[in-house]
Chains A and B, each alone.
Chain A
Amino acid sequence: MNDPNWGLMAKKDRLTQRARILTEIRAFFVGENFLEIETPQRIPCNAPELHITPQSCGKWVLHTSPELCMKRLLSAGYARIFQLCHCWRAEERGSKHLPEFTILEWYRANSDYTQLMHDCENLLSYLVPTKQLNYNNYQIDITAPFERLTLEQAFANFAPTSMQQALADNCFEEIYSEHVEPKLGTIKPTLVYDFPASMAALARVKPDNPLVAERFELYIAGVEIANAFSELTDQHEQRQRFAAEEQQRCDAGLQPYPLPEPFLDELENMPPAAGIALGVDRLVMLLTAAEDIAQVVTFTPEEL
């Protein structure tokens, strides 16, 4: 008889912690009066986004995020909702990416992204009672308030060029990933906020500056954990932005997608709201000191 699968046995401690973390996430949101929601994972279309490729599934696709269905629930009067589910993004595989991964999304009606920043602080301190996280040789203090930094300020602090220059030179991602991201969230978690409007297809722009979107990302130990924004609720503007995103996809030689018409129709009834997506596998990595996402899931695609 052969030995049992050692690789799988070796994950047991982290998978046990993962189960506990999922239970605590649910307990946290139930305690905050959120309703746990499940939405279909196979859908006719996602929000068109240039840099996200959905996985086909028959004539439909697997959702890349439950966002559109969650917002339809907001439009129907569900004011505080959360979902824990699997999402699929084709061809994304690295030490912190899986093509099938676990997402936590939560939405609040009559709120904006600043409330979600507080939610992040409260959720993390709920999950880390010691208020200290050790990851990547960093000791991170989890007590609120977290560090808040505009994206422009983060570039000014850590990058050799300004954010505007990096965008103009078409090397934003390279500079952000090389110089800025590794410095974020190394003492306390960092909330990087206010992204260029062009980088947030579903976010509301700031009332006093249409070039900046009310979007933030949460970083801990240089790892991006969550992405949030004040939701765009203007039906016509959302339609125009989807059309622009579609045009960019076509220009890049990608196939066009059908538009999510029921979502666009019902957006008319959506209250001001804010929503956030958090990478659960990465959160488990941080809380269990795992260097690779493969250590915190039962099977990677390569292990099937």
Chain B
Amino acid sequence: MYSSSDLRKGLKIMIDGEPHVIAGFDFTKPGKGQALYKCKLRNMITGSLFDRTYRSGESFAPAPLDERDMQYLYQDDTGYVFMDIKTYEQVSITSETLGDDKYFLVDNMEVKVLMFEELAIGITLPNFVTLRVTMAEPWVKGDTAAGNNKPATVETGYNLQVPSFVEEGILIQIDTRTGDYVTRIKE
């Protein structure tokens, strides 16, 4: 069992018999009183999002999810298609259920597909992925000040902030847990 102090973004817990993932999290202590754990929860089956606030000392059952090693194949009308590496069985997960995770998928990437009672309801990505920058403003020569950043888009359509020296066409590493730029990758 988890307790309130274990709650954090990405944790998967059971609520009313269904698996939920914490999509957003904050901690507050209004008036120096009781601690409050503010969660934005996503129902992993329906994809619906809602807010719920917990106090200290509550307990939560971990969501009983099986993880299967699969390879990402392609996107079609049904959603994102993955293939089980051992059995070659294919499953499809909708864009809504994947949420932002879909932006970090590259062809043939190996991921863990999360199964709840034979239903594919999500994936666990590697912590870091490498993606190509498809759009970024050119580097203004001489702009070497640390901390200066600019918007960029990568091959999956994901938008993020990158340092000013990141140019179009290069590969960058992104932390899939935060969605943030990490570093340039040499080819």
Distance of A91 Cα from B31 Cα, bound (Å): 17
Distance of A173 Cα from B54 Cα, bound (Å): 11
Contact across chains for B31 and A199 when beta carbons are under 8 A apart:
yes
Distance of A96 Cα from B57 Cα, bound (Å): 21
Task: Give the total number of A-B pairs whose CB atoms are below 8 A apart.
Answer: 75
List residues of chain A with CB within 8 A of the CB of B32: 49, 51-52, 199, 227
**Number of contact residues on A: which range applies?**
20 to 34
CB distance from A77 to the nearest CB of B (A): 29
Q: Enumerate A1-49 residues with CB–CB distance to B below 8 Å.
A: 2-3, 6-7, 9-13, 49
CB distance from A109 to the nearest CB of B (A): 24
With contact pairs A6-B181, A6-B183, A177-B36 given, residues A13 and B30 touching in the complex (Cβ less than 8 Å): no
Contact across chains for A95 and B26 when beta carbons are under 8 A apart:
yes
List residues of chain B with CB within 8 A of the CB of A6: 163, 181-183
Distance of A181 Cα from B26 Cα, bound (Å): 15
Distance of A291 Cα from B152 Cα, bound (Å): 21
- Whether B5 sits at the interface, judged by CB under 8 Å, is yes
Contact across chains for B31 and A176 when beta carbons are under 8 A apart:
yes
**Number of contact residues on B: which range applies?**
20 to 34
List residues of chain A with CB within 8 A of the CB of B30: 172-173, 176-177, 181, 224
Contact across chains for A10 and B147 when beta carbons are under 8 A apart:
yes
Contact across chains for B163 and A9 when beta carbons are under 8 A apart:
yes
Distance of A10 Cα from B146 Cα, bound (Å): 6
Contact across chains for A51 and B27 when beta carbons are under 8 A apart:
no
Nearest chain-B residue to A2 (Cβ)? B183
- Whether B108 sits at the interface, judged by CB under 8 Å, is no
CB distance from A151 to the nearest CB of B (A): 8
Contact across chains for A51 and B147 when beta carbons are under 8 A apart:
no
Contact across chains for A51 and B34 when beta carbons are under 8 A apart:
yes
Contact across chains for B183 and A174 when beta carbons are under 8 A apart:
no
Distance of A48 Cα from B181 Cα, bound (Å): 43
Distance of A227 Cα from B31 Cα, bound (Å): 9
Q: Mark A93-108, 1 if CB is under 8 A from B, else 0.
A: 1111100000000000
List residues of chain B with CB within 8 A of the CB of A96: 26, 28
List residues of chain A with CB within 8 A of the CB of B5: 91
Contact across chains for B163 and A92 when beta carbons are under 8 A apart:
no
- Whether A195 sits at the interface, judged by CB under 8 Å, is yes
Contact across chains for A12 and B147 when beta carbons are under 8 A apart:
yes
Nearest chain-A residue to B4 (Cβ)? A91
Distance of A93 Cα from B38 Cα, bound (Å): 12
Contact across chains for A13 and B147 when beta carbons are under 8 A apart:
yes
Contact across chains for A51 and B183 when beta carbons are under 8 A apart:
no
Distance of A2 Cα from B182 Cα, bound (Å): 11
List residues of chain A with CB within 8 A of the CB of B34: 51, 172-173
Q: Enumerate B172-187 residues with CB–CB distance to A below 8 Å.
A: 180-184
CB distance from A11 to the nearest CB of B (A): 7
Contact across chains for B146 and A173 when beta carbons are under 8 A apart:
no
Q: Enumerate B1-56 residues with CB–CB distance to A below 8 Å.
A: 5, 25-36, 38, 53, 55
Q: Enumerate B58-88 residues with CB–CB distance to A below 8 Å.
A: none
Distance of A181 Cα from B36 Cα, bound (Å): 14
List residues of chain B with CB within 8 A of the CB of A173: 29-31, 33-34, 36, 55
CB distance from A167 to the nearest CB of B (A): 10
- Whether B149 sits at the interface, judged by CB under 8 Å, is yes
Distance of A173 Cα from B33 Cα, bound (Å): 7
CB distance from A302 to the nearest CB of B (A): 9
Contact across chains for A172 and B33 when beta carbons are under 8 A apart:
yes
Contact across chains for A195 and B180 when beta carbons are under 8 A apart:
no
Distance of A174 Cα from B29 Cα, bound (Å): 10
List residues of chain B with CB within 8 A of the CB of A245: none
List residues of chain B with CB within 8 A of the CB of A94: 25-28
CB distance from A206 to the nearest CB of B (A): 18
Distance of A195 Cα from B183 Cα, bound (Å): 49
Contact across chains for B184 and A3 when beta carbons are under 8 A apart:
yes
- Whether A217 sits at the interface, judged by CB under 8 Å, is yes
List residues of chain B with CB within 8 A of the CB of A2: 183
Distance of A51 Cα from B27 Cα, bound (Å): 13
Query: Which 3 residue pairs of A and B lie closest in terms of their CB atoms, listed nearest first?
Result: A94-B27, A9-B146, A177-B30
Which residues of B are interface residues toward A (Cβ below 8 A)? 5, 25-36, 38, 53, 55, 57, 146-147, 149, 163, 180-184
Known: A10-B149, A172-B33. 11 other contacts (CB 8 A): A3-B183, A12-B146, A12-B147, A49-B32, A52-B32, A92-B29, A97-B28, A177-B30, A178-B53, A217-B31, A252-B57
